Chains A and B, each alone.
Chain A
Amino acid sequence: MSEFTIAQREREAVHVLELKGYLDAHTAPKLEEAFQGLLKDQRFNIIVNCKDLSYISSAGLGVFMAYIEDVRKNNGDIKLSNMSTKVYNVFDLLGFPLLYEITPDEQDAYNKFGNALTRK
């Protein structure tokens, strides 16, 4: 049975989701739920830290696709960080680096929000 958990924490105006385990068709609804919650709470600056994400499938990627537009429409962004090579390869294969900011470290992603945050 594939395990997948999401831990959430705040870094000032940025919301961090820490994904752990297998993100596939079976567990994708969990991530969807997390994004729905963030949108409901008007939290649009989101970093998804993938440090402990061991696998991602297309359905998992689909969740990012389904929410990016709503987030960006509200002047926010979903940035991804700390991906393992294996996970990055899947993102890369499907052309995601063109559409999403993917940084090696969470801090880099956080810094990239910097400008947007001070502008507020």
Chain B
Amino acid sequence: MRLRGLYLLTLLLVALPFIFPDNYYVTVVGVTAAVHAILAMSLNLLMGYAGQISLGHAAFFGMGAYASALLTTRWDWPPLLAMLFGLIFTAVVAYLISRPILRLKGHYLAMATLGFGIIVNIILVQAGEYTGGPDGLSDIPVLALFGWEIDSDLRWYGVMMAAVLLVLWLNLNLIHSRMGRALRALHTSEFAAETMGINTTATKSTIFVTSAVIAAAAGSLFAHQQSFVSPGSFSFFFSIELVTMVVLGGLASTYGAIFGAIVITFLPELLVVFEDYEVMIFGAILMLTMIFLPQGIYVVVEQRLLRWWQKCWLQSGESGGAT
């Protein structure tokens, strides 16, 4: 019941490459959308559910990507080992900064995470000896899973979509667990959460690390898929884009985060026809959405559909009773 959406999405994702074989929007833009969806879901855990804003999420994405890129190109580590190292490294860094940073609230937390994101980006640019500086690192080897090389668009489509479904499954389970309830509780009132016996510091720290590690995993996959990384992909602007995805879909809605990621990825592709006005129209769409649907597009549509459905259900029930 809880996982119904997950099953539907699985069907859809499996069907798409059959319905549209060799379609650029499915296997190329779709894969980018998948990376964005994973990132948006991870950020939504922190922002949507726990209520802790982060303007530096791209940094964790970058840490995962650069760990894979560096270790596989410079030191010839096997890709999976490099990925694992990247995740552990990101977890340690996220844990170390979470304690001081999550004491802050609201704008101050936003500022601190923003600063962290910028620092990481500066390191990527400045440590050119290792990271290749602004030019980045190229020729990242192909990722192979048990001898199966992921070397085509279609294979990447399969791997990324599997990753999306896995993260979605993790999210849905987490949200409905004891931990998920604790997150929503501390979002509402930290004081009340403490009187319930929730260790708010530890809970916030746990979700911050979880969120960062998921982002790093996305980064590692992204590095192998692109076979090239540069600091531009992990900048402050990308952090803001991720926040936009989460807010656009609707805070505290996992499917909303996926929806936001899809919109933000595909909209620019569709707006290409407007050429020079593309960015302006993109901005206008975002503004209008936030003015008229501040709860997020996905959340509002879901509520309306649910209400409509219930109405139909009631009416059919009444007419059934009358006859």
A in complex with B: no
Write the residues of chain B forming the contact surface with A, with a CB cutoff of 8 angstroms. none
